[in-house]
Structure 1
C-alpha cells in the first residue's frame, strides 16, 4: 500500500513539475533588445527575435512617441487601434508586456476578436463604451459592462471580446496587454476572409447560413 502511495506521489510531482516547466521562463538578463535580423553568428535568438549587443543599446530602443495623436477612424468600423508592442519598441522583447491606444468614432466598433497570447486591461479616458467578452464552451456567457471615463475592464486571455462606442462623441481608451506580441484574431476576418477561403459548405453548416450568404460574406471580407 505504501509503495502505491509513493508511486502516486511521484507521479503527481512529475505532473506538476511538467506544468511548471511549461510556463515562460524568467529573463536571465536585464533586457534583450530585439533586432530584425542578425549580421553575425554570435547573435542570440530569444522569443522570436535576435538580441542586440547590450553595449550598443540606447534609450531609443525603449522609446515610442505618438500616442497623443488620435487614430484615423474614417473606416468601415469607425475605430483605430495604435499598437505599441515589440515591433514598435524593440526593448520590449522578453518583457511580456505591451499596450495600445484605441480611438472610436461615434458608433465605432473594435469588432469581436481575441488575443491568443495576452490578457488585456483597458482604461477608458474619454467617451462611453459598451464592452464585453464571451466565456468558453459550453456556457458562452456574455459578460458585458458600460464604461465611462476612468473605468477599467479586463478581458481574459484568449476570450472573444469587443468594444463599441455607444456615445455621441469620440471615445479614447488605452489597453495594456500581458505579452510583448499579443496577436489579434478578428473573428469575422479570420472566418470569412481566410486565404484561401474556407469551403462555403463548412461555414454554411457551422453558422447555419444559406451558402449564398456565406459566399457573399467571403467576397466582402476577401
Structure 2
C-alpha cells in the first residue's frame, strides 16, 4: 500500500493539473511511478477521457481502453490506480472469454442487454452468470475467465472499471491455442491436423466476434 504522504502528493498533483491546465512532472520526484517519463506534460484532456480511438474494431463490435499505456495520467492516482474499458457489441456479438490477471472488473451496462458469465477456480462452479440489462452492474472477480455476449438483435454497450491502472487482458482461446502443439495435443487428445484446423479458425476469429446461430435468428448476413 502506498505511503500516506505519497497518496497526499498524488492528490495535490491532480488538483494542480486541473487548476493550471498543465504541469511538468519531474521523474526524480515521482520515482515510485515507473510509467512516467521525465518532464511528462499533463493537459486537462488526460483527465477527461473521450474514448475516441478503438483499440480493436471488427464488424461485430469495438473495444476502447483507458489503461495507463494510453493515458499516463492514471499513474498519478493513489495505490494501484484505476482503468476503464468501453465495449460496444453489435447484434449477436461477443467479447470472447478472457481474464484480467491484476484486477476485479465492475461492468455497468449502458445500452441493451448482455449475457455476462464467469467460471470459478478449480473445484468451484463452472458457470456463474445471467442477463444484465441497461442500468445494471455486474462484478467479475479478479483473474477469472469471463465473457459478455449480446444475444439480442440490436446493439449493446457497457463500461468496465478496474481498480488497477494496468489490469491486463488474456484472451482464453487465442492464448491456449498458441501453446506448443504437444501441450495442446496432450491436453485435448486431438490430432495435430485437428489442432491446426482449430488454430486457424481461432486466429481468423478476431474479438469481438459473432454467434452465427444468433445472427441467423436475427436475419443478419455475415
**Same fold by TM-score greater than 0.5:** yes
The counterpart of 1:30, out of the listed 10, 33, 50, is 10
- Paired residues for 1:86-125 under 5 Å: 86-95=68-77, 96-125=81-110
Q: 8 Å contact 1:43–1:52 — kept in the other structure?
A: no
Structure-2 residue corresponding to 1:81? 63
- Paired residues for 1:46-85 under 5 Å: 46-50=32-36, 53=39, 57-66=42-51, 72-74=57-59, 78-85=60-67
Distance 1:206 1:140 in 2: 21
C-alpha displacement at 1:221, in angstroms? 4.3
User: Residue 206 in 1 paired to residue 187 in 2?
Assistant: yes
C-alpha displacement at 1:189, in angstroms? 1.2
Find the residue that maps to 1:49 and give its secondary structure.
coil
Greater Cα radius of gyration, structure 1 or 2: 1
Q: 8 Å contact 2:116–2:129 — kept in the other structure?
A: yes
Structure-2 residue corresponding to 1:129? 114
C-alpha displacement at 1:61, in angstroms? 3.5
Name stretches of at least 5 consecutive residues in structure 2 with no aligned partner: 15-25, 204-222
Sort the Cα spacing of 1:205 and 1:220 in 2 relative to 1 into closer, same or farther, 3 A.
Answer: same
Q: 8 Å contact 2:27–2:38 — kept in the other structure?
A: no
Q: 8 Å contact 2:35–2:68 — kept in the other structure?
A: no
Structure-1 residue corresponding to 2:21? none
Distance 2:133 2:44 in 1: 35
Find the residue that maps to 1:102 and give its secondary structure.
strand
C-alpha displacement at 1:67, in angstroms? 5.5
Q: 8 Å contact 1:117–1:183 — kept in the other structure?
A: yes
Sort the Cα spacing of 1:221 and 1:64 in 2 relative to 1 into closer, same or farther, 3 A.
Answer: same
Distance 1:92 1:41 in 2: 15
- Say which structure, 1 or 2, has more relative contact order (CA 8 Å, 6+ apart): 2
Per-residue deviation, residues 146-193 of structure 1 (Å, max 9, x unmatched): 01111110000000000000111000111111110111000111111x
TM-score (norm 2): 0.72
Name stretches of at least 5 consecutive residues in structure 1 with no aligned partner: 1-23, 34-39
Let me know the Cα RMSD of the aligned residues. Answer: 2.8
